[in-house]
Structure 1
Amino acid sequence: MTNLPDVMENEQLTVQRAIDGDQGAMRALWTRHAPHIDVVVRRLVGNDPDLAADVAQDVWIQIFRALPSFRGDAQFGTWAHRIAVNRTLNALRRTRRTAALEVDVEDDSASVEPEADRAILAASIEDAAARLSPGARTVFLLHDVEGYTHEEIAAQLGITAGGSKSQLFKARARLRTLLAHLIDAPASRSRPNTTEHAAPLH
């Protein structure tokens, strides 16, 4: 069984070698942490794989540039995760995808067509979050997934804490609408049809 302190110590040694310019150590860090960084970036970017790939590359450039400032107060993965979130938000600001954060989320629940039910039933929370507006999705992921406070989100995105709370409320309401199919469909299928055996009305 792998000893966690040994793993952490080995990673600290790998980080130190990377700081010293060891290319093999840099590759080892990338191999170990790239899958998680990719997930973080894709969640925040949404349905734009090209942008996500560009941002992920930029994140790793920044991680390696900032390595000399890594003091080891947190685990490397936690430190890199924070950089990934910050760089992704910067990229979204540059592409103006968060410019309308204070705009109300359109209530388009009626646009969910019956033929889309199968896709929604198979969707995860991450898939459903991708259906949110960019602003609502960003606030939802930062607050409910990343654990940021509304004040921290407001500072990151240039909005008010009240605006962050409003976006989160709307995001959760929209997700409840999208994910209701996941909850209600199995129950409705298992519920007996009482109308078939109902007594005739006289």
Structure 2
Amino acid sequence: MSQPVSPNLCDADLAQRAARGDLAAFELIYRSHYRRVFNVICRIVGGVEARAEELAQETFLRAWQAMSTFRAEAALSTWLHRLAVNAALMDLRGRREAEDREVDDAVLDQKAGHCCTGDLRLDLQVAINGLPPRARAVLVLFDLEGWTHEEISEALHMAVGSSKAQLHRARSLLRQRWEAA
């Protein structure tokens, strides 16, 4: 029987305990890291909260299954973040471009109208969500997550030049929509 888990344990200690099958330790990991995992996935999949919720759950399931492979060379939060980004990118890759929802300017304007007027952050998030999936993924990973074009090209299976082009496309589309608003 495992010992009670103190909420004051550091991530490395919790990870060690979880790797030995301690579900209570993993629950503490889940509770302290869920919001960040969910948020990064939500930004990459375009604000589709139900899908982001599913992918966050899958991320933590994978984390539980792979906890014994976690090496404390990097922070647990970094490892979980990478699992989350990979889950979101695999989801984007799994859906064909033709099946992805096309959000035209009219739909984008309608969504923006439902947001609190004047709330710049919500308006920007709606605009980002309306970007084509690959352009959105590159923008989120480069501008919000701080990835390099080399890392993005490897994760999305595209050339570095394509990553740069997608970033330029995303920024141009955002600028156009912002100026039109």
* TM-score, normalising length: structure 2: 0.79
The 1:115/1:161 distance shift into structure 2, 3 A limit, reads: closer
Q: 1:57 to 1:9 in 2, by over 3 A?
A: closer
Report deviation, 1:53: 1.9
Which structure has the greater CA radius of gyration?
1
Corresponding residue of 1:163: 162
Between the aligned partners of 1:98 and 1:75, the Cα distance in structure 2 is 38
Q: Which amino acid aligns with 1:165?
A: K
Give unpaired runs (5+ residues) of structure 2.
1-6
Structure 1 unaligned segments of length 5 or more: list them: 1-6, 101-105, 183-202
Aligned to 2:140: 141
- Counterpart of 1:122 (choices 119, 122, 131) is 119
The one-letter amino acid paired with 1:140 is: L
Contact 1:93 1:99 in 2 (8 A): no
Q: 1:99 to 1:142 in 2, by over 3 A?
A: farther
How far apart, in 1, do the equivalents of 2:84 and 2:21 lie?
A: 21
Q: 1:27 to 1:131 in 2, by over 3 A?
A: same
1:40 is the counterpart of 2:37: no
User: Shift of the alpha carbon at 1:111?
Assistant: 8.4
Against the structure 1 CA distance between its residues 127 and 76, is the aligned structure 2 distance closer, same or farther, given a 3 Å change threshold?
A: same
The TM-score normalised by the length of structure 1 is: 0.72
* Compared CA separation, residues 169 and 95, structure 1 to 2 (3 A): same
Distance 1:115 1:46 in 2: 13
- Cα shift at 1:74: 1.2
> Retained in 2: the 8 A contact 1:121–1:181?
no
CA contact (8 A) 2:141 2:147 kept: yes
How many residue pairs match? The answer is 171
- Shift, 1:50, TM fit: 2.6
SS of the counterpart of 2:10? helix
The alpha-carbon deviation at position 116 of structure 1 amounts to 5.2
Tell me which moved more, 41-50 or 119-128: 119-128
Residue 174 of structure 2 corresponds to residue 175 of structure 1: yes
Report how far residue 117 of structure 1 moved: 6.4
Q: Which aligned pairs between 1:1-202 and structure 2 lie closer than 5 A? A: 10-97=10-97, 119=115, 121-124=118-121, 125-180=124-179
- Cα distance, 1:9 vs structure 2: 6.4
C-alpha distance in 1, partners of 2:25/2:111? 50
1:160-187 CA deviation, whole Å, 9 max, x = no partner? 21111111011112222334478xxxxx
The residue identity in structure 1 corresponding to 2:26 is M
Contact 1:132-1:174 at 8 Å conserved across structures: yes
1:130-181 Cα distance to aligned partner (Å, 9 max, x none)? 1211111011011111222222212221222111111101111222233447
3-state secondary structure, aligned to 2:146: coil
The percent of aligned pairs where both chains have the same amino acid is 34
For residues 147 and 130 of structure 1, what CA distance do their matches in structure 2 show? 19
**Deviation of 1:20 (Å):** 1.1
- The amino acid across from 1:75 in the alignment is A
One-letter code aligned to 1:122: D
| Distance change >3 Å, CA 27–CA 175, structure 1 → 2 | same
